[in-house]
Structure 1
Amino acid sequence: MKTNVDRAAGSAPLPMLIGLLRTRRFAPLFWCQFFSVFNDNFVRNMLAMLILFRLGEADAGPLITLAVGIFMLPSLCLSGLGGEMADAQDKARLTKRLKFAEILVQVIAAIGLWQASLPLLYTALFGLGVISALFGPIKYGILPDLLERHELVAGNALVEAATFIAIFLGLIAGGLSAVGRTPEGTMAQLMAIALACWAASLFIPLTGRAAPDLRVNPNVFASTRDLLREVKREPCLWSRSMAVSWFWMTGAVTLSLVPVVIRNKTGGGIGVETAISAFFALGIGIGSLAAAIIARGRILLAPVPLAALGMAGFLIDLGLATWSLPTATTEIDIPTFLSSAIGVRIAFDVAGLATAGGLFVVPLFTAIQADAAKHMRARIVGGVNILNSAFIVAGVLLTVVLQSKSVGLSEPILLAALGVLNLGAAFYVWKTVSRKAD
């Protein structure tokens, strides 16, 4: 195995990235997960924009927050079940079934949009959350079945880059569909996305059952508990999983704070908010692909602490840059924002933070996949997803409390504080992850 890794380390990374996108082993999974993530964010943002601009709900804020909670809840409860199902069944066949079910969920979303029905749209969003929770362990657990070990970093880099680009495009499409298109056109788009996702899943190669004797536990709470225990049993696996979960929490909290900072401190409108989201998605893509280029086929964890330091630095600078700014009184457009020194600084910090994040998470998740036992791989990924969801929920709730009137911390202070905490995360991964890997 070591000989293969050493030989792969000398291979050119860019041809490998391009080659993977052309191969039957990887391309169908790539496009299936791209359309799936696009679909999730399309429906979620369509619902948010529908609440804000078409229904004119007085309690828009809580209703939008409820949408996030409805989508995240299944990941906390069903990731363990998804991991067990993925190990007990052929992952490719299970993917086909889930993506066919997604078509039915899209029908509910389309009817909900047609009737402007919040209950139907919430139902569709919950259905998408369930499918996402069950699909998560599959899409990461199947990669080592489809790719060689020296291709894993490149495969994960492409998946992470595509995920954030799909999130960005889905958010834009969802917003435009709710406020700028006819219901008929949006319904056709909803069905086209679901059909494209299902069609891509049909070409994913069969992998066989990793654990054919495994009996799936229908008690989701017991399976969640058991998977967390399994992840914690291996100290190295646990430390990597904690680091990955920290990344997702950092990203979720940052994406909840930055739009408020831009609106309140610079007066940036929807166009500016969209541009900053584009910088974030672009940064994640660059960082993820850079991780593959640096690794050259190896699973290289040494740069991870440096990436955490980069995340810390950009977050601290983002907080310091906006802390003393007065509250904006007028709305500005993209050219005005990017022609100002503070606009360029914010854009640079957001892109730098996202790039560092891609460099941070890709090697860590690849190491988890590569070192997990084959018969347990999907369940391990499910356990990691449970941790991710728990970190995100805890981080967002704590942020809400710190933003509340009773505490009153401003968004720039919270961004800087998150940066300081990332200094601790850098020390943690250096001590528990990269040093042990070396």
Structure 2
Amino acid sequence: MRSFDAHQAQTTLFDALIEARQTYGAKKPILEDQERNPLSYTDLIRAAFALGRKIAGFTKPAERVGVMLPASSAAAVTFFALHAFGRTPAMLNFTAGIRNLKAACELAGVKRVLTSHRFVEQGKLHDLIDALETLTTVTYLEDVRATVGLPDRLFAAAAGAFPKNFRTASRPSDPGVILFTSGSFGAPKGVVLSQANLLANVFQVAAHIPLDPDWVFFNPLPTFHCFGLTAGVLLPIMTGMKAFQYPSPLHIKQIPPLIKDTGASVLLATDTFVNQYARSADHGELSGLRFIVCGAEKVREETHNLIAERFGGVPVLEGYGATEAAPVIAVNKPDDNRRGTVGGLLPGMETRLEPVEGIPGGGKLYVRGPNIMVGYLVPGGAIEAPVDGWHDTGDVVSLSEDNWIKIKGRVKRFAKVGGEMVSLTAAEDLACAVWPDARHAVVSLPDPKKGERLVLVTDRMDADAGPLISHAQSIGAPEIAVPRKIIKVMEIPVLGTGKTDYVALQRIVDAEMRRAA
């Protein structure tokens, strides 16, 4: 187990890759995807120089270049290719819809987007491309690679042997990536993370959980999601582990056998996907994992129990983060896994709790540390930095004496019912306890008598308030936390990361209420 040293992050991403090669061996395979063509450190560095040299020919130094690719070796190579020549990757969320994608490009000043013919064809993303082409130049990696000739290969070979002589110099404080928040509750924000922010988070996690360079990290999460980028790509590569990239977490039947076939040690996912993999998998397909790390949404008790019963007690480690924190703030440990918490605060981080009126036993969480963002992009190109380095997470939490975090809910995920503050997350938990096999979400609506009232949206077709009230009474939960209005849908809307899409959900509820009026 290594200790966290903030000075480890005081380098650049490309130089950290070079240092990892020196530490773990030039020929060590560290990147692979479904094509099953593993790349060593030297392969990755050479590929980054070959591709980066071409990209540099049609972009400017420090330009923000859009990257729209699934989790793959190509995405990782492209990320490092941009860094090798001093460009900034702006990772575009291709599941966010045309309006949000165009807004992201405008906000970040993206004039060039890198993507793949194959990806666009398989994802049926032609409408997205048409929309992007009204704002940007879309360039396909297959077309770029077709222009790589002998001079480029000779350059890449020389650069691979002496990378520090060929890479564009940059500083740890320079931008490492531009990402866009998930938009669970509104329009996505553009987040600028420095190279030092990303590397700090890598080394914070490595100091928190012992990692073995012989392990394989299986990452099906998109690299436009900070968890997929930092934990799924940078963490394994910088610490000597192989990063196996899979293009979509939605391939429920294909992923479990591939986890076994790749010898994966760690799976990164969300509760929704892990639950589905566990139901689909044969007994031996997940039992070889050392542990599973879940972020982005609460891990249900049912998921913990399902994995424990079917796969020999593989621990499911719930973590917590935010894009603004590069992203990991806290995570449970394999040997200290406390259900109901999101784990221990990472080393090198400070916290501050501010009281929230009507919510006892916790406070709104502010965090500060070397992984906290440079700031938000604002229209016109400026960056709005966090005040005194503190990031307001918007989450109401409680902290144990040893800095283990329990999430009570988001500030905006509380409703005032009859003068009492009620957690919408707690209301969702009631529904999950009564119908654990279904998916549920709770929103609030204005109510002339009570101030606000709760509405449960569920894919459980026989759901009614009776069992919810009975369960609340049996555990001593207040009845005002029980939704009386229930709307049944075929599917709860989710974002590309697996999180509930509360913006879409609110539209469904509003439309239903208008129909009922």
Which is helix-richer, 1 or 2?
1
TM-score after normalising by structure 2 = 0.24
TM-score after normalising by structure 1 = 0.27
Larger Rg: 2
- Which of structures 1 and 2 has the larger relative contact order (alpha carbons within 8 angstroms, sep 6+)? 1
